[in-house]
Structure 1
Amino acid sequence: MKDRLSVWFPVGLVFLLALLTFWLDRMVQPPGAQKDGSQRHDPDYWVENFTATRMGPDGTPQYVLVGGKMTHFPDDDSTHLVRPHLTRYAKDLPPMHIDSQIGQVSKDGEHAWFSGDVKVVREAGRGQSELTMATPWLHVIPDQDFAETNREVTVRNAGTRIAAVGMEFNSKTRIIKFLSRVKGQHVKTK
Protein backbone atom coordinates (compact mmCIF):
# COMPACT_ATOMS: atom_id res chain seq x y z
CA MET A 1 0.00 0.00 0.00
CA LYS A 2 2.85 2.32 0.85
CA ASP A 3 4.46 1.65 -2.54
CA ARG A 4 1.23 2.48 -4.37
CA LEU A 5 0.90 5.76 -2.48
CA SER A 6 4.45 6.76 -3.33
CA VAL A 7 3.76 6.06 -7.04
CA TRP A 8 0.33 7.71 -7.33
CA PHE A 9 1.03 10.73 -5.14
CA PRO A 10 3.28 12.50 -7.73
CA VAL A 11 0.80 11.66 -10.51
CA GLY A 12 -2.06 13.16 -8.49
CA LEU A 13 0.04 16.22 -7.69
CA VAL A 14 0.85 16.78 -11.38
CA PHE A 15 -2.84 16.37 -12.26
CA LEU A 16 -3.81 18.89 -9.56
CA LEU A 17 -1.19 21.38 -10.85
CA ALA A 18 -2.46 20.96 -14.42
CA LEU A 19 -6.02 21.59 -13.27
CA LEU A 20 -4.92 24.67 -11.31
CA THR A 21 -2.99 26.00 -14.35
CA PHE A 22 -6.03 25.54 -16.60
CA TRP A 23 -8.27 27.33 -14.08
CA LEU A 24 -5.79 30.25 -13.71
CA ASP A 25 -5.55 30.61 -17.50
CA ARG A 26 -9.35 30.86 -17.75
CA MET A 27 -9.46 33.49 -14.99
CA VAL A 28 -6.83 35.75 -16.59
CA GLN A 29 -8.31 35.74 -20.11
CA PRO A 30 -10.58 38.73 -20.81
CA PRO A 31 -14.23 37.80 -21.41
CA GLY A 32 -14.99 37.10 -25.02
CA ALA A 33 -11.32 36.75 -26.01
CA GLN A 34 -11.01 34.29 -28.84
CA LYS A 35 -7.90 32.49 -29.92
CA ASP A 36 -9.18 31.73 -33.42
CA GLY A 37 -7.58 34.84 -34.97
CA SER A 38 -10.89 36.59 -35.66
CA GLN A 39 -9.83 39.63 -33.61
CA ARG A 40 -6.65 40.12 -35.64
CA HIS A 41 -6.20 42.76 -38.32
CA ASP A 42 -4.38 40.66 -40.91
CA PRO A 43 -4.70 41.08 -44.68
CA ASP A 44 -6.35 38.36 -46.72
CA TYR A 45 -4.81 39.61 -49.97
CA TRP A 46 -2.66 42.34 -51.44
CA VAL A 47 -1.74 43.46 -54.92
CA GLU A 48 1.40 45.37 -55.90
CA ASN A 49 1.76 47.79 -58.82
CA PHE A 50 -1.91 47.55 -59.75
CA THR A 51 -4.37 49.33 -62.04
CA ALA A 52 -8.11 49.05 -61.45
CA THR A 53 -10.68 50.56 -63.83
CA ARG A 54 -14.38 51.08 -63.16
CA MET A 55 -16.41 51.28 -66.33
CA GLY A 56 -19.67 53.15 -66.83
CA PRO A 57 -22.82 51.67 -68.37
CA ASP A 58 -21.71 52.92 -71.80
CA GLY A 59 -18.36 51.11 -71.55
CA THR A 60 -16.22 54.20 -70.96
CA PRO A 61 -13.94 54.43 -67.91
CA GLN A 62 -15.34 56.32 -64.90
CA TYR A 63 -12.36 55.87 -62.58
CA VAL A 64 -8.87 54.53 -62.94
CA LEU A 65 -7.02 53.73 -59.72
CA VAL A 66 -3.28 53.05 -59.96
CA GLY A 67 -1.08 52.35 -56.97
CA GLY A 68 2.06 50.84 -55.54
CA LYS A 69 0.20 48.45 -53.24
CA MET A 70 -3.40 47.63 -52.32
CA THR A 71 -4.08 45.59 -49.16
CA HIS A 72 -7.49 44.24 -48.10
CA PHE A 73 -8.39 43.47 -44.47
CA PRO A 74 -11.35 41.09 -44.00
CA ASP A 75 -12.08 41.95 -40.34
CA ASP A 76 -13.37 45.45 -41.20
CA ASP A 77 -13.51 44.98 -45.01
CA SER A 78 -11.20 47.98 -45.50
CA THR A 79 -8.78 48.48 -48.37
CA HIS A 80 -5.54 50.35 -47.78
CA LEU A 81 -3.53 51.91 -50.61
CA VAL A 82 0.12 52.92 -50.96
CA ARG A 83 0.92 55.74 -53.44
CA PRO A 84 -2.59 55.84 -54.94
CA HIS A 85 -3.36 57.83 -58.08
CA LEU A 86 -7.08 58.17 -58.80
CA THR A 87 -8.33 59.61 -62.09
CA ARG A 88 -12.03 60.50 -62.40
CA TYR A 89 -13.55 60.75 -65.87
CA ALA A 90 -16.97 62.37 -66.25
CA LYS A 91 -18.92 63.29 -69.35
CA ASP A 92 -18.51 66.97 -70.30
CA LEU A 93 -15.98 67.55 -67.48
CA PRO A 94 -12.20 67.56 -67.66
CA PRO A 95 -10.43 64.64 -65.94
CA MET A 96 -9.47 65.04 -62.29
CA HIS A 97 -6.40 63.40 -60.76
CA ILE A 98 -5.70 62.75 -57.06
CA ASP A 99 -2.28 61.65 -55.80
CA SER A 100 -1.17 60.93 -52.22
CA GLN A 101 1.19 58.84 -50.14
CA ILE A 102 -1.51 56.59 -48.65
CA GLY A 103 -5.23 56.03 -49.08
CA GLN A 104 -8.14 53.99 -47.82
CA VAL A 105 -11.35 52.89 -49.55
CA SER A 106 -14.60 52.09 -47.71
CA LYS A 107 -16.02 48.59 -47.92
CA ASP A 108 -18.77 49.71 -50.32
CA GLY A 109 -16.33 51.72 -52.45
CA GLU A 110 -18.41 54.89 -52.02
CA HIS A 111 -15.78 56.79 -49.99
CA ALA A 112 -12.04 57.22 -50.32
CA TRP A 113 -9.65 58.94 -47.94
CA PHE A 114 -6.27 60.22 -49.07
CA SER A 115 -3.49 61.43 -46.78
CA GLY A 116 0.13 62.42 -46.95
CA ASP A 117 0.94 65.18 -49.43
CA VAL A 118 -2.38 65.05 -51.31
CA LYS A 119 -2.34 66.73 -54.73
CA VAL A 120 -5.47 67.25 -56.82
CA VAL A 121 -5.33 68.41 -60.44
CA ARG A 122 -8.40 69.17 -62.52
CA GLU A 123 -7.23 69.46 -66.09
CA ALA A 124 -8.06 72.54 -68.13
CA GLY A 125 -11.32 72.25 -70.01
CA ARG A 126 -13.75 74.29 -72.05
CA GLY A 127 -13.48 77.82 -70.71
CA GLN A 128 -11.66 76.85 -67.52
CA SER A 129 -8.01 76.75 -66.62
CA GLU A 130 -6.22 73.99 -64.76
CA LEU A 131 -7.05 73.85 -61.04
CA THR A 132 -4.64 72.43 -58.47
CA MET A 133 -5.14 71.71 -54.77
CA ALA A 134 -2.71 70.65 -52.06
CA THR A 135 -3.71 69.39 -48.60
CA PRO A 136 -2.48 66.81 -46.09
CA TRP A 137 -5.85 64.96 -46.00
CA LEU A 138 -8.82 64.60 -48.35
CA HIS A 139 -12.15 62.73 -48.21
CA VAL A 140 -13.62 61.94 -51.64
CA ILE A 141 -17.05 60.68 -52.68
CA PRO A 142 -16.32 59.89 -56.34
CA ASP A 143 -19.87 59.16 -57.53
CA GLN A 144 -20.99 62.59 -56.30
CA ASP A 145 -17.91 64.42 -57.69
CA PHE A 146 -17.40 65.72 -54.15
CA ALA A 147 -14.26 66.21 -52.06
CA GLU A 148 -13.70 67.76 -48.64
CA THR A 149 -10.99 68.41 -46.10
CA ASN A 150 -10.89 69.89 -42.62
CA ARG A 151 -7.17 70.61 -42.86
CA GLU A 152 -5.09 73.31 -44.51
CA VAL A 153 -5.65 73.55 -48.25
CA THR A 154 -4.10 75.63 -51.02
CA VAL A 155 -5.95 76.06 -54.31
CA ARG A 156 -4.38 77.56 -57.44
CA ASN A 157 -6.19 78.49 -60.62
CA ALA A 158 -5.08 80.90 -63.40
CA GLY A 159 -3.40 83.60 -61.35
CA THR A 160 -5.41 82.96 -58.19
CA ARG A 161 -4.02 81.41 -55.02
CA ILE A 162 -6.30 80.71 -52.05
CA ALA A 163 -5.19 79.24 -48.73
CA ALA A 164 -7.73 78.13 -46.13
CA VAL A 165 -8.50 75.63 -43.42
CA GLY A 166 -11.29 73.33 -44.53
CA MET A 167 -12.88 73.08 -47.95
CA GLU A 168 -15.79 71.47 -49.78
CA PHE A 169 -15.44 71.00 -53.53
CA ASN A 170 -18.11 69.92 -56.00
CA SER A 171 -16.43 69.20 -59.31
CA LYS A 172 -19.71 68.90 -61.20
CA THR A 173 -21.03 72.35 -60.19
CA ARG A 174 -17.49 73.80 -59.98
CA ILE A 175 -18.28 75.29 -56.56
CA ILE A 176 -15.56 75.44 -53.90
CA LYS A 177 -16.58 76.41 -50.37
CA PHE A 178 -13.75 77.42 -48.04
CA LEU A 179 -14.59 76.88 -44.37
CA SER A 180 -12.23 79.07 -42.30
CA ARG A 181 -9.09 81.26 -42.21
CA VAL A 182 -9.34 82.08 -45.91
CA LYS A 183 -6.58 84.14 -47.56
CA GLY A 184 -6.61 84.86 -51.26
CA GLN A 185 -4.29 86.42 -53.78
CA HIS A 186 -5.11 87.25 -57.37
CA VAL A 187 -2.48 88.17 -59.92
CA LYS A 188 -3.82 89.81 -63.03
CA THR A 189 -2.72 87.89 -66.11
CA LYS A 190 -1.38 89.82 -69.09
Structure 2
Amino acid sequence: MKLFSTRHINTSIAAMAGLVLLIFLLAYFETGTTPALNDNRQTEQHPNFYLINSYSEQYDKSGSLDMIMVSQSVQHNPKDDSISLQQPYFQLFQDGVTTWEIKALSGTVYNRGHKIDLQHRVTMINQSKQSSLKTPQLFIYPDKKRANTEQTVTLQNPNSVTQAIGMEADLNTKHITLLDQVRGQYEPTMAPDNAE
Protein backbone atom coordinates (compact mmCIF):
# COMPACT_ATOMS: atom_id res chain seq x y z
CA MET A 1 0.00 0.00 0.00
CA LYS A 2 1.37 3.40 -0.98
CA LEU A 3 1.61 5.89 1.86
CA PHE A 4 1.19 8.86 -0.48
CA SER A 5 -0.94 8.18 -3.52
CA THR A 6 -1.11 10.53 -6.48
CA ARG A 7 -4.63 11.49 -5.48
CA HIS A 8 -3.51 12.26 -1.93
CA ILE A 9 -0.60 14.45 -3.21
CA ASN A 10 -2.89 16.35 -5.62
CA THR A 11 -5.40 16.99 -2.81
CA SER A 12 -2.61 18.32 -0.55
CA ILE A 13 -1.31 20.66 -3.28
CA ALA A 14 -4.83 21.95 -3.97
CA ALA A 15 -5.38 22.56 -0.25
CA MET A 16 -2.09 24.47 0.05
CA ALA A 17 -2.88 26.57 -3.02
CA GLY A 18 -6.31 27.33 -1.59
CA LEU A 19 -4.75 28.39 1.73
CA VAL A 20 -2.25 30.71 0.00
CA LEU A 21 -5.09 32.22 -2.08
CA LEU A 22 -7.20 32.72 1.06
CA ILE A 23 -4.34 34.52 2.87
CA PHE A 24 -3.73 36.69 -0.20
CA LEU A 25 -7.42 37.65 -0.46
CA LEU A 26 -7.70 38.41 3.26
CA ALA A 27 -4.67 40.71 3.05
CA TYR A 28 -6.12 42.41 -0.03
CA PHE A 29 -9.53 43.04 1.54
CA GLU A 30 -8.01 44.36 4.80
CA THR A 31 -5.69 46.90 3.17
CA GLY A 32 -7.29 47.48 -0.22
CA THR A 33 -3.91 47.06 -1.90
CA THR A 34 -2.14 44.10 -3.35
CA PRO A 35 0.24 42.71 -0.69
CA ALA A 36 3.94 42.66 -1.51
CA LEU A 37 5.18 39.14 -2.05
CA ASN A 38 8.81 40.13 -1.63
CA ASP A 39 9.79 42.67 1.04
CA ASN A 40 13.28 43.19 -0.39
CA ARG A 41 11.91 44.99 -3.45
CA GLN A 42 15.12 44.78 -5.38
CA THR A 43 13.72 47.02 -8.12
CA GLU A 44 13.61 50.00 -5.73
CA GLN A 45 17.30 49.61 -4.89
CA HIS A 46 18.38 50.16 -8.48
CA PRO A 47 18.08 53.37 -10.50
CA ASN A 48 14.97 53.54 -12.65
CA PHE A 49 16.71 55.81 -15.18
CA TYR A 50 20.16 57.20 -15.88
CA LEU A 51 21.81 59.69 -18.23
CA ILE A 52 25.36 59.88 -19.53
CA ASN A 53 27.05 63.26 -20.18
CA SER A 54 24.03 65.18 -18.91
CA TYR A 55 23.51 68.89 -19.56
CA SER A 56 20.57 70.86 -18.16
CA GLU A 57 19.56 74.50 -17.81
CA GLN A 58 17.29 75.99 -15.16
CA TYR A 59 15.52 79.33 -15.57
CA ASP A 60 14.11 81.68 -12.95
CA LYS A 61 10.51 82.97 -12.83
CA SER A 62 11.32 85.85 -15.18
CA GLY A 63 12.76 83.47 -17.79
CA SER A 64 16.42 84.36 -17.22
CA LEU A 65 19.06 81.64 -17.09
CA ASP A 66 19.54 80.70 -13.43
CA MET A 67 21.75 77.60 -13.42
CA ILE A 68 23.54 75.19 -15.74
CA MET A 69 24.36 71.68 -14.55
CA VAL A 70 26.71 69.31 -16.36
CA SER A 71 27.40 65.82 -15.05
CA GLN A 72 29.30 62.81 -16.35
CA SER A 73 26.40 60.59 -15.23
CA VAL A 74 23.01 61.06 -13.57
CA GLN A 75 21.04 58.27 -11.85
CA HIS A 76 17.57 58.55 -10.34
CA ASN A 77 17.04 56.49 -7.18
CA PRO A 78 13.31 55.76 -6.73
CA LYS A 79 13.74 54.54 -3.14
CA ASP A 80 14.28 58.10 -1.82
CA ASP A 81 13.59 60.07 -5.03
CA SER A 82 17.17 61.36 -5.10
CA ILE A 83 19.49 61.86 -8.06
CA SER A 84 23.14 60.75 -7.90
CA LEU A 85 25.71 62.78 -9.86
CA GLN A 86 29.22 61.88 -10.99
CA GLN A 87 31.65 64.75 -11.58
CA PRO A 88 28.98 67.46 -11.43
CA TYR A 89 29.72 71.02 -12.56
CA PHE A 90 27.37 73.92 -11.80
CA GLN A 91 27.35 77.42 -13.22
CA LEU A 92 25.14 79.87 -11.28
CA PHE A 93 23.82 83.07 -12.82
CA GLN A 94 22.45 86.39 -11.62
CA ASP A 95 20.89 88.80 -14.13
CA GLY A 96 22.31 86.72 -16.99
CA VAL A 97 25.89 86.91 -15.66
CA THR A 98 27.86 83.97 -14.23
CA THR A 99 28.36 84.45 -10.49
CA TRP A 100 29.75 81.08 -9.36
CA GLU A 101 31.27 77.93 -10.79
CA ILE A 102 31.07 74.87 -8.52
CA LYS A 103 32.43 71.39 -9.17
CA ALA A 104 32.91 68.14 -7.25
CA LEU A 105 33.67 64.48 -7.80
CA SER A 106 30.18 63.37 -6.76
CA GLY A 107 26.88 64.69 -5.52
CA THR A 108 23.26 63.96 -4.67
CA VAL A 109 20.20 66.06 -5.47
CA TYR A 110 17.33 65.91 -2.96
CA ASN A 111 13.80 67.34 -2.71
CA ARG A 112 13.37 67.80 -6.47
CA GLY A 113 16.41 70.07 -6.72
CA HIS A 114 15.85 72.17 -3.59
CA LYS A 115 18.95 70.69 -1.88
CA ILE A 116 22.22 69.53 -3.47
CA ASP A 117 24.89 67.66 -1.49
CA LEU A 118 28.29 67.86 -3.22
CA GLN A 119 31.14 65.68 -1.98
CA HIS A 120 34.82 64.98 -2.58
CA ARG A 121 37.10 67.79 -3.73
CA VAL A 122 34.42 70.46 -3.93
CA THR A 123 35.64 73.72 -5.45
CA MET A 124 33.64 76.95 -5.58
CA ILE A 125 35.01 79.83 -7.72
CA ASN A 126 33.52 83.33 -7.90
CA GLN A 127 32.82 85.10 -11.20
CA SER A 128 36.00 87.16 -11.25
CA LYS A 129 38.03 84.01 -10.52
CA GLN A 130 40.00 86.02 -7.99
CA SER A 131 39.07 83.67 -5.14
CA SER A 132 38.21 80.03 -4.68
CA LEU A 133 36.89 77.93 -1.85
CA LYS A 134 37.70 74.23 -1.35
CA THR A 135 35.97 71.79 0.99
CA PRO A 136 35.22 68.05 1.19
CA GLN A 137 31.44 68.64 1.29
CA LEU A 138 29.09 71.47 0.36
CA PHE A 139 25.31 71.80 0.58
CA ILE A 140 23.70 74.12 -1.98
CA TYR A 141 20.12 75.42 -1.78
CA PRO A 142 19.49 76.82 -5.29
CA ASP A 143 16.07 78.36 -4.53
CA LYS A 144 17.43 80.28 -1.53
CA LYS A 145 20.78 81.04 -3.20
CA ARG A 146 22.58 79.74 -0.13
CA ALA A 147 25.40 77.27 0.52
CA ASN A 148 26.95 75.86 3.69
CA THR A 149 29.23 73.22 5.12
CA GLU A 150 30.35 71.99 8.51
CA GLN A 151 33.58 70.59 7.06
CA THR A 152 37.04 72.18 6.77
CA VAL A 153 37.25 75.07 4.32
CA THR A 154 40.20 76.64 2.49
CA LEU A 155 39.55 80.10 1.01
CA GLN A 156 42.20 81.32 -1.42
CA ASN A 157 42.55 84.91 -2.64
CA PRO A 158 45.42 86.36 -4.70
CA ASN A 159 47.31 87.46 -1.55
CA SER A 160 45.93 85.23 1.20
CA VAL A 161 44.93 81.75 2.27
CA THR A 162 42.36 81.33 5.04
CA GLN A 163 41.34 78.06 6.65
CA ALA A 164 38.33 77.39 8.88
CA ILE A 165 35.82 74.81 9.97
CA GLY A 166 32.32 75.50 8.71
CA MET A 167 31.07 78.11 6.28
CA GLU A 168 27.85 79.83 5.22
CA ALA A 169 27.53 81.67 1.92
CA ASP A 170 24.96 83.97 0.37
CA LEU A 171 25.39 83.22 -3.33
CA ASN A 172 23.58 86.41 -4.41
CA THR A 173 25.66 88.87 -2.40
CA LYS A 174 28.81 86.69 -2.56
CA HIS A 175 29.16 87.12 1.21
CA ILE A 176 30.98 84.19 2.88
CA THR A 177 31.00 83.70 6.65
CA LEU A 178 33.64 81.39 8.11
CA LEU A 179 32.31 79.82 11.31
CA ASP A 180 35.02 78.34 13.54
CA GLN A 181 38.80 78.02 14.06
CA VAL A 182 39.54 80.66 11.44
CA ARG A 183 43.21 81.21 10.69
CA GLY A 184 44.89 82.81 7.72
CA GLN A 185 48.09 83.88 6.06
CA TYR A 186 48.39 87.16 4.17
CA GLU A 187 51.18 88.02 1.73
CA PRO A 188 51.17 91.68 0.64
CA THR A 189 51.89 92.47 -2.97
CA MET A 190 55.41 93.82 -3.42
CA ALA A 191 55.54 97.31 -4.91
CA PRO A 192 57.89 97.77 -7.87
CA ASP A 193 61.32 99.30 -7.05
CA ASN A 194 60.59 102.49 -9.04
CA ALA A 195 57.28 103.18 -7.27
CA GLU A 196 57.17 106.33 -5.17
TM-score range, shorter chain: 0.7 to 0.9
Give the residue type in structure 2 aligned to 1:153: V
Cα drift, residue 172 of structure 1: 2.1
Paired residue secondary structure (1:108): helix
Cα drift, residue 91 of structure 1: 2.2
Give the residue type in structure 2 aligned to 1:140: I
Q: Which residue of 2 aligns with 1:122?
A: 126
Give the residue type in structure 2 aligned to 1:167: M
Cα drift, residue 169 of structure 1: 1.2
Q: Which residue of 1 aligns with 2:63?
A: 59
Cα drift, residue 147 of structure 1: 1.0
Give the TM-score taking structure 1 as reference length: 0.77
**Partner Cα distance (1:170, 1:13) in 2:** 71
Q: Which residue of 2 aligns with 1:175?
A: 175
Q: Which residue of 2 aligns with 1:140?
A: 140
Rate the CA distance shift 1:133–1:13 in 2: closer, same or farther, 3 A: same
**Partner Cα distance (1:35, 1:7) in 2:** 30
**Partner Cα distance (1:95, 1:167) in 2:** 18
Paired residue secondary structure (2:112): coil
Paired residue secondary structure (1:117): strand
Cα drift, residue 7 of structure 1: 6.1
Equivalenced residue count is 177
Rate the CA distance shift 1:60–1:7 in 2: closer, same or farther, 3 A: closer
Paired residue secondary structure (2:143): helix
User: Which blocks of at least 5 consecutive residues in structure 2 are unaligned?
Assistant: 21-34, 191-196
Conserved 8 A contact 1:39-1:75: no
**Partner Cα distance (1:172, 1:73) in 2:** 31
Larger displacement relative to structure 2 (176-185 or 64-73): 176-185
Cα drift, residue 40 of structure 1: 3.0
Q: Which residue of 1 aligns with 2:153?
A: 153
Which of 75, 85, 88 does residue 84 from structure 1 map onto? 88
**Partner Cα distance (1:9, 1:49) in 2:** 62
User: Which blocks of at least 5 consecutive residues in structure 1 are unaligned?
Assistant: 23-32
**Partner Cα distance (2:170, 2:84) in 1:** 25
Conserved 8 A contact 1:102-1:115: yes
Describe the superposition over 1:30-75 as per-residue Cα deviations: whole angstroms up to 9, x where unpaired. Answer: xxx9445278322111000010001234433110000100001122
Give the residue type in structure 2 aligned to 1:74: P
Conserved 8 A contact 1:71-1:80: yes
Conserved 8 A contact 2:113-2:142: no
Give the residue type in structure 2 aligned to 1:85: Y
Give the residue type in structure 1 aligned to 2:121: D
Give the residue type in structure 1 aligned to 2:174: R
